[in-house]
Structure 1
Amino acid sequence: MSDHKGLVLDETRKFHQEAQGSGEFIPGVTEIWPSGAVLDEDDRVALVEAALDMRIAAGPSSRKFESQFARRLKRRKAHLTNSGSSANLLALTALTSHTLGDRRLRRGDEVITVAAGFPTTVNPIVQNGMVPVFIDVELGTYNTTAERVAEAIGPKTRAIMIAHALGNPFEVAEIAQLAKDHDLYFVEDNCDAVGSTYRGQLTGTFGDFTTVSFYPAHHLTMGEGGIVLTSDLKLARVVESLRDWGRDCWCEPGKNNTCLKRFEYQMGTLPEGYDHKYIFSHVGYNLKATDLQAALGLSQLTKVDRFIEARRTNWRRLREGLDGLPHLVLPEATADSDPSWFGFALTVDPQAPFLRAELVDFLESRKIGTRRLFAGNLTRHPAYIDTPHRVVGELTNSDIITDQTFWVGVYPALTEPMLDYIVASVREFVEARS
């Protein structure tokens, strides 16, 4: 059997090598994607090996990935999920647990977040019956500031939930301190920023909870997938329960009686000795990932440092190439940070002699992929117009982002000729109209 397996894996490597195209870049013909997974033959072999072993549910690879990723982000516990969106949902929902006593979040509580971003940082607030408090961001960094967060704290504020924008850290140390000073929970959405640092400390190490996504656009991928991390063992236990149907039992699939008293519990109004595997202490979900996904994640994790460095190098090449170009706001790293960039944002000055849409159309016509800065101002979307929320200050920059901002890619598959072509194309368009 092992000989047959080795044969299949050898053939998988050959198949991967034969399936690769020439890789030749033809300007204006080859598509330059803004993001995407970077997958090699080791990744393909990892997936095939997991399939051959029929690891179709969460299992050894999932536990191993959780352990390795927790160590990387210097957190005590990590729980793998089926998406980064689910990770955010679990993190905020865990803070409503009855096990937290008077510190639990309740319906009507306020949670501070930013207006310009991706919906899945905000949706868990709404889905749990709480009130998002929207604040503005800065142009250039596309992050909010500790000062804005401080101004938004009110008598009903109970938590802060913010994402690092395009891999660029917000003032996370100062905001974590604000949370501590005001006895607020802090959920740090690190989905775009694996490997970023602020004041020499890894992002994802500041909050009560940290979340990460493994969607193909992100720093490492499982296809789908996400993770929730914390160093608070009580919170970790709640996340595990919520992720796994809300059950009270912590046995892994296929295991029994890990606690050595499976038939000795009495909880709720159940009869004494009710099987602990079927006692439910939370209204939960099934948001687990599979071992197939985790096997790919483990392979990707061995390359993540190389991916991060490529993102930084690619961002610098674009930044240096476009420096000094008029009518564009170029991106800037937050002070005291070293971002692991997700994308390269460009904002067209509202007074420019051309429209953002014209520049985007020009780039797209040259096969250079672009993306908006996600939702722009979320308060202007149909989903949130009638949703109870509070706004602190003007959302001027969020509106400018909605109208004027887009980004191009820096992900590791982009080559120097591709990046130089992006620079040359942007320069050609702007200089012809200046």
Structure 2
Amino acid sequence: MNDALPARRESILASVREYAEISLAAREFVAGESTVPVSGKVLDADDMVALIDSSLDGWLTAGRFTTEFQDTLANYVGARASSFVNSGSSANLVALSALTSPKLGPKHLKAGDEVITVAAGFPTTLNPIIQNGLTPVFVDVEIGTYDAIGDQLREAVGPKTRAIMMAHTLGNPFDLDLVRALCKEHKLWLVEDSCDALGSTYRGQRTGSFGDTATVSFYPAHHITTGEGGAVFSKSPLVTRQVESFRDWGRDCYCETGQDDTCGKRFEWQLGDLPLGYDHKYTYSHIGYNLKGTDMQAALGLSQLAKLDHFVARRKENFNYLYERLRDVEGLILPVATPNSDPAWFGFPITLADDLKVDREDLMRFLDKNKVGVRLIFAGNLLRQPAYRNIDRRVVGDLRNSDTVMNRSFWLGVYPGLTDPMIDYMADALIHYVTGKDGSF
């Protein structure tokens, strides 16, 4: 009976492919009736087959697909290692928490140490700083690039500063020349949040490969998807060990799932106040979490990763097409790539100029009513959010641009599932509203 299983498996996968080719076929876009999504996943039959193929293994947790995905992903980015986790937010938590490990020596982050970040961003870049008892130092962003102002980064470094943790906003790399120089000069850790920037480059090097740790997200809106999912990149084998420990319950053991004695002395360790020979698989050196992804997610990630270069190219094409449609519209401040970078844009950020008599919320209601997806630049000024009003922090400058982002900025989609007719409709709707044309759209 077992001899028949491979043939049955192939039959199942063939049926899945046939179903997927029908169910995932592109639908006709009808302007004014069809939705223009701001983001979304792009799946094909190979993706669906990968999901089912992995599930038929019956392993479910991290397994053969996870190992291959981690290795392939690290190679793509140019990092020494990648560790698969269950979300980009978890990746940020693990990436910073790993740097608090005493196993890293006297440089490890300790409660009260300062971490520089930007005020205009997404909560889960900030949250791990607070959750680890560290003090965030906020700097403002430039309008156009939406990344940190260089002079404020320099000013932000103080006697308690031990790390920089920032995101490449909407896929646009921050000034890595400056940030790396500051980290080298002041012996700071760099946690590079590349969750929106998989495939972006700075001086020809892919984002995610610069930081001591770095992160990426595989949520369906992102450059590739595993459903939920994310990864942590690391350069040093010692740091990688701490990343894996915090991801895997805080354990000291580094055996892969399903393995028992990688170190060759499972019952020979003497750690903490435990008895000599206490099973290393149940020895914990950190107060950690369980943030692993599943093998089905990793299988989907592998299939998606094979298409990433195409996805990145399509994002750039869509960005450039939309830019050409909007470049001559007065009152719109369009996005600017950071010098020396080539962004794999996650979205198309726009700020309404101060002299443009348009209310952003009314504009967003208009776009939404006309089935055009639109989003804010995340939390705006994070310090205006109710969750962060009373946190311990240090602020450089007045954060006026972060307030502008909060009040006058938004972004439109450029993801690979958009077509030229969709982008034309989106641009026409925006132009119609901001130019004050009469009549219905």
Q: Among 359, 371, 394, which residue is 2:398 paired with?
A: 394
Q: Among 191, 206, 210, which residue is 1:206 paired with?
A: 210
The residue aligned with 1:82 is 86
Offset at residue 423 of structure 1 (A): 1.4
Matched, 1:299 2:303: yes
| 2:36/2:422 contact within 8 Å kept | yes
SS in 1 for 2:296: helix
SS in 2 for 1:122: helix
The residue aligned with 2:48 is 44
Q: Among 36, 53, 57, which residue is 1:53 paired with?
A: 57
CA distance 1:305–1:22, change in 2 (3 Å)? closer
Q: Among 177, 184, 188, which residue is 1:180 paired with?
A: 184
Query: Per-residue displacement from partner, 1:240-262 (whole Å, max 9, x unpaired)?
Result: 11111111111112211111111
| 1:27/1:366 contact within 8 Å kept | no
Name the amino acid aligned to 2:298.
A
Matched, 1:431 2:435: yes
In structure 1, what is the Cα distance between the partners aligned to 2:260 and 2:17? Answer: 38
In structure 2, what is the Cα distance between the partners aligned to 1:433 and 1:331? Answer: 24
| Structure-to-structure mapping, 1:19-34, within 5 angstroms | 19-20=23-24, 23-34=27-38
In structure 2, what is the Cα distance between the partners aligned to 1:255 and 1:20? Answer: 38
Structure 2 unaligned residues grouped into runs of 5+: none
Offset at residue 21 of structure 1 (A): 5.3
| 1:133/1:389 contact within 8 Å kept | yes
Query: Per-residue displacement from partner, 1:336-380 (whole Å, max 9, x unpaired)?
Result: 211000000111122212211222122112100100000000000
Query: Per-residue displacement from partner, 1:392-433 (whole Å, max 9, x unpaired)?
Result: 011011001101111110000000100111111112222226
Q: Among 369, 377, 384, which residue is 2:373 paired with?
A: 369
CA distance 1:2–1:400, change in 2 (3 Å)? same
| 2:70/2:83 contact within 8 Å kept | yes
Q: Among 56, 67, 73, which residue is 2:71 paired with?
A: 67
Between 14-23 and 316-325, the greater mean CA deviation after superposition: 14-23
Between 226-235 and 196-205, the greater mean CA deviation after superposition: 196-205
Aligned-pair identity in percent equals: 53
| Structure-to-structure mapping, 1:215-364, within 5 angstroms | 215-364=219-368
The residue aligned with 2:128 is 124
Offset at residue 17 of structure 1 (A): 2.2
Offset at residue 52 of structure 1 (A): 1.4
In structure 2, what is the Cα distance between the partners aligned to 1:329 and 1:42? Answer: 40
C-alpha RMSD over aligned residues = 1.2
SS in 2 for 1:103: coil
Offset at residue 176 of structure 1 (A): 1.2
Q: Among 148, 158, 161, which residue is 2:162 paired with?
A: 158
Q: Among 92, 99, 102, which residue is 1:95 paired with?
A: 99
Q: State the TM-score, normalized to the length of structure 2.
A: 0.97
Query: Per-residue displacement from partner, 1:218-260 (whole Å, max 9, x unpaired)?
Result: 1000001111111111100011111111111111122111111
Offset at residue 3 of structure 1 (A): 1.1
The residue aligned with 2:14 is 10
Structure 1 unaligned residues grouped into runs of 5+: none
In structure 2, what is the Cα distance between the partners aligned to 1:177 and 1:208? Answer: 14
Between 172-181 and 400-409, the greater mean CA deviation after superposition: 172-181
In structure 2, what is the Cα distance between the partners aligned to 1:132 and 1:167? Answer: 22
The residue aligned with 2:142 is 138
The residue aligned with 1:418 is 422
Name the amino acid aligned to 1:355.
D
Name the amino acid aligned to 2:216.
V
In structure 2, what is the Cα distance between the partners aligned to 1:17 and 1:295? Answer: 19
In structure 1, what is the Cα distance between the partners aligned to 2:352 and 2:300? Answer: 39
